[in-house]
Structure 1
């Protein structure tokens, strides 16, 4: 594609959101339209990315012969894929533009959604194929690093915290949606028997029919709608760069510092979102009257997503660095609090475990919003978009790292305590980095 010859009906010839007159007369309406359409598609992307975490807790009960380690690997694989694909998606906004990127990336979600709908109907589906489908679910994670930077191009700096907070926060709701909707939608037949026969769910003496394929098929029409909206209603701003030109972000130390900070915040959000259901099942599932993991797991992502939306305007008003500091300190103490409830002796400890996990999600959501305010203030627009995409890519490994490490720590020690202690040390390091470079008086890059 030749940047000097924009495609008709796709690339805008002028975009100056920092010009007040341009913003009021031409920019504002298109920017907000772009935000809402892209946010709708990003929500579907997060649903696809985390649908595996909602399915894996049901697979053993319908006849899949999977070990605890295999279940954690299935929960981890979308994170590995999401992080890897985000690295690629990071470089696509200035090359493809918002319209083409959002449209085609959304259509790609059909592959894992349809694939899982087919796989869960046959308990003989081999583990390797389930892993491939779990990897394809990571496409939803990859989309974030394309959608967020491209949206950042549309807004002036004074509104970046609000806009990106709304988009990422509402998009993050996809995690709660999939974990909340799944138990309900798998309980009845959609369109009669047209979409497949039920599976038999067995737990203890309870046996009932469920339709696991519904967990993904219900989103297929919405994905098609999102792609249509993107194709007909989105435009692309004239921010262009080839693949090689975008590598200049890696020569700036602040790219790496912000990467670490976003691992602390979004890495925690995505990692614990993927593992929360399995943690509940593994730690508290042994007790009589054990809680249904999905009845509680959706609360964590819900809290983290909601606070991310609410924190956007506050980050615009007071700056991002101070809120990132609050986030780090809160994560540190919340992670340490969880460790007191990782070797339960009764269900009486379960509410405290859930409470401290919800605090982890709360403080990660605060930091998710504040870091995305910091990056547009530290870097110029094109670099800021690249850094947003890159940091999001690396932090997206959270589900893979958290799931695999927690599974390994539990297997070797019988408890996840060691993992949470390690996370607390990492949080402490990032508290120091943020304070020194961004939050303290006379910091190098106050933001």
Structure 2
């Protein structure tokens, strides 16, 4: 087997890139997407399992189920910090193998305990927490792919990597739908068995086809350096609104639908089936939209696209809130029109959050590309600094963004517990999107005025567009030393 360690990698060297570097990057991207895809599926496995857990059998009410699916979201968010560092420390290939095979633990635990209705709620919380392993995969995968691709292609590459991973959410929901529709809601263990095979395939594929970049760096010192840049905190806040919305709604949408269908007169089994038939659509469309958010941002500018998206998400949240309010006024039973509006508004939120995921992510490397210009260093050293700090920040931003998913499920839980409705939660979400719109404008798009640094992202994105038109190669990797597929 050939050596899987690449000692020197410079994606900005156009000659080396065309001589074989792009083929190496593409191969690593494919398997990174697959491993992250399986990770997202395992991370969201309990959003499907709760559809197989009738309240009268398992004794867990809707508020309890919202908290149950929030636990893996929280664990996954916390793990994104060490996962970011691990990729550079152990190598992208090595860490992908390990983190993929680690998913066997939550999958096996879920396989066993989902067949034990008498299990305590605390035990279910612990088992669900292990599913958080899948949430950490995003940070390590994004940091790794960020190192493989040049600045001019990062938006598309990172969007494709993240979008392919995000599709893991609707994928496992589709598997759940297939099982419920064909076998009934007593065969949840079959879903776990299918994913045991996919987890093993992800680990083997990473071992055979991925590479380690030995000059990659994304340690805690790089992360601390990145956090000293004020715009980093604004980006993290915005990512709560995009990725936090995507993952939070992905975990909660099925439950919201199941509660609504049951209020409309469906039996428990019918409500689960009807919810499963719709729940996967939003995450699927949101995942597919993510790469195009990155591509659009590459051409127009991440900050400008993000502001448009948050404004649109505000409108979509109003639609969902109004539809839910109409259902409340009819005794908790939504009319056909209100139900259609609720579903349409939710799907719009998924699509918009997917586009926003891509656009917000592309702001990160552009900020540090602009910041590096102020360093008293060679062009090569500035490029390395921008690469390391942006890679480290991706993990931090991903962790903070995932906490938004926890917040969504907790707000929904509180809303249902206090009012037996999600309406209050939807109005809260709307207010948050307004805040995100204002932050995007104030930090990244407002006329600089006296603050010389306030327009750094706009300047950075202009540099990216200029580089796209006339790329300037760096010299650390020669054409003859370009790694080949």
Q: Return the alpha-carbon distance in structure 2 between the equivalents of residues 432 and 222 of structure 1.
A: 42
Report the counterpart of residue 196 of structure 1 in structure 2: none
2:208 is matched with which residue: 232, 254, 258? 232
Report the counterpart of residue 322 of structure 1 in structure 2: 304
1:438 is matched with which residue: 417, 441, 444? 444
Report the counterpart of residue 388 of structure 1 in structure 2: 394
Report the counterpart of residue 356 of structure 1 in structure 2: 345
CA shift at 1:97, angstroms?
A: 1.6
Report the counterpart of residue 51 of structure 1 in structure 2: 45
CA shift at 1:174, angstroms?
A: 0.8
Equivalent pair of 1:90/1:393 in contact (CA under 8 Å): no
Equivalent pair of 1:51/1:178 in contact (CA under 8 Å): yes
CA shift at 1:28, angstroms?
A: 0.4
RMSD of aligned alpha carbons: 1.9
Confirm whether residue 302 of structure 1 aligns to residue 284 of structure 2.
Answer: yes
CA shift at 1:241, angstroms?
A: 5.1
CA shift at 1:441, angstroms?
A: 5.4
SS of match in other structure, 1:153 = helix
Q: Deviations over 1:168-225 (max 9, x none)?
A: 1111111111111112135668xxxxxxxxxx85xxxxxxxx3110111101111111
CA shift at 1:37, angstroms?
A: 0.4
CA shift at 1:440, angstroms?
A: 4.4
Q: Deviations over 1:341-377 (max 9, x none)?
A: 2141344121110001111111111100101111111
**Where does structure 2 lack aligned partners over 5 or more consecutive residues?**
369-385, 449-454, 462-485
Equivalent pair of 1:106/1:223 in contact (CA under 8 Å): yes
Report the counterpart of residue 63 of structure 1 in structure 2: 57
SS of match in other structure, 1:15 = coil
Equivalent pair of 1:283/1:342 in contact (CA under 8 Å): no
SS of match in other structure, 1:17 = coil
Q: Return the alpha-carbon distance in structure 1 between the equivalents of residues 102 and 56 of structure 2.
A: 28
Q: Return the alpha-carbon distance in structure 1 between the equivalents of residues 249 and 181 of structure 2.
A: 26
Equivalent pair of 1:87/1:394 in contact (CA under 8 Å): no
Which is further off, 87-96 or 210-219?
Answer: 87-96
Equivalent pair of 1:79/1:398 in contact (CA under 8 Å): no
Report the counterpart of residue 428 of structure 1 in structure 2: 434
Structure 1: which 4+ aligned runs deviate by more than 4 Å? 186-189
Q: Return the alpha-carbon distance in structure 2 between the equivalents of residues 307 and 361 of structure 1.
A: 9
Confirm whether residue 137 of structure 1 aligns to residue 131 of structure 2.
Answer: yes
1:157 is matched with which residue: 151, 155, 167? 151
Confirm whether residue 265 of structure 1 aligns to residue 242 of structure 2.
Answer: yes
Report the counterpart of residue 254 of structure 2 in structure 1: 277
SS of match in other structure, 1:102 = helix
2:410 is matched with which residue: 401, 404, 408? 404
CA shift at 1:123, angstroms?
A: 1.2
Q: Deviations over 1:296-344 (max 9, x none)?
A: 1111101111111233322222221121111110111111111112141
What TM-score do the two structures reach when normalised by structure 1?
0.90
More helix by share: 2
SS of match in other structure, 1:240 = coil
Q: Return the alpha-carbon distance in structure 2 between the equivalents of residues 168 and 366 of structure 1.
A: 11
**Where does structure 1 lack aligned partners over 5 or more consecutive residues?**
1-7, 190-199, 202-209
Confirm whether residue 110 of structure 1 aligns to residue 92 of structure 2.
Answer: no
Equivalent pair of 2:363/2:457 in contact (CA under 8 Å): no
Report the counterpart of residue 378 of structure 1 in structure 2: 367
CA shift at 1:62, angstroms?
A: 8.1
Report the counterpart of residue 176 of structure 1 in structure 2: 170
What TM-score do the two structures reach when normalised by structure 2?
0.83
CA shift at 1:132, angstroms?
A: 1.0
Q: Return the alpha-carbon distance in structure 2 between the equivalents of residues 168 and 405 of structure 1.
A: 26
Cα distance 1:257–1:17, how it changes in 2: closer, same or farther (>3 A)? same
Confirm whether residue 221 of structure 1 aligns to residue 197 of structure 2.
Answer: yes
Confirm whether residue 366 of structure 1 aligns to residue 355 of structure 2.
Answer: yes
Report the counterpart of residue 207 of structure 1 in structure 2: none
How many residue pairs match? The answer is 422
SS of match in other structure, 2:24 = helix
Q: Return the alpha-carbon distance in structure 2 between the equivalents of residues 393 and 44 of structure 1.
A: 18
Q: Return the alpha-carbon distance in structure 1 between the equivalents of residues 317 and 434 of structure 2.
A: 11
